[in-house]
Amino acid sequence: MTAGSTAASPAPVRITTMGSRERGTNGRSAVDVAVEPATKITAPIAGTVIRAGGYTLYCKYSDNYVVIAPDANPALEVKILHLRDLAVKAGQRV
């Protein structure tokens, strides 16, 4: 994820609503976006990074995350998981 990028997706995407996996949440409360590994990811909204860092996924894999407070509603949190080469930090504008 990089800060300050504004490039849009080069092609439309097909939307699929997947099963809930018995999590008890709305089927459209989150989104998974799959891209080629070398693809640079831009922030899905404009806002300020609240926190970002690494964690261990499934007690086995190194993973990264970023949490953004959107400008349009800073009380919300937009959470992005499964990032490689994290390039933002708390307090940064994206």
* pLDDT at residue 70, as a whole number: 94
Q: What is the pLDDT of residues 30-56, one digit of tens each?
A: 777 777 878 877 767 899 999 999 999
> Can you read off the two tokens belonging to residue 56?
């261990």
pLDDT for 29 equals 73
- What are the DSSP calls for 26-81, one per residue? -TTS-------TT---B-SS-EEEEEEEEEEETTTEEEEEEEEEETT-TTS-EEEE
- Residue 7, pLDDT score: 47
* CA–CA dist 22, 6 (Å, integer): 36
- The pTM assigned to this predicted structure is 0.66
pLDDT below 50 — which residues of the chain?
1-7
pLDDT value at position 37?
A: 78
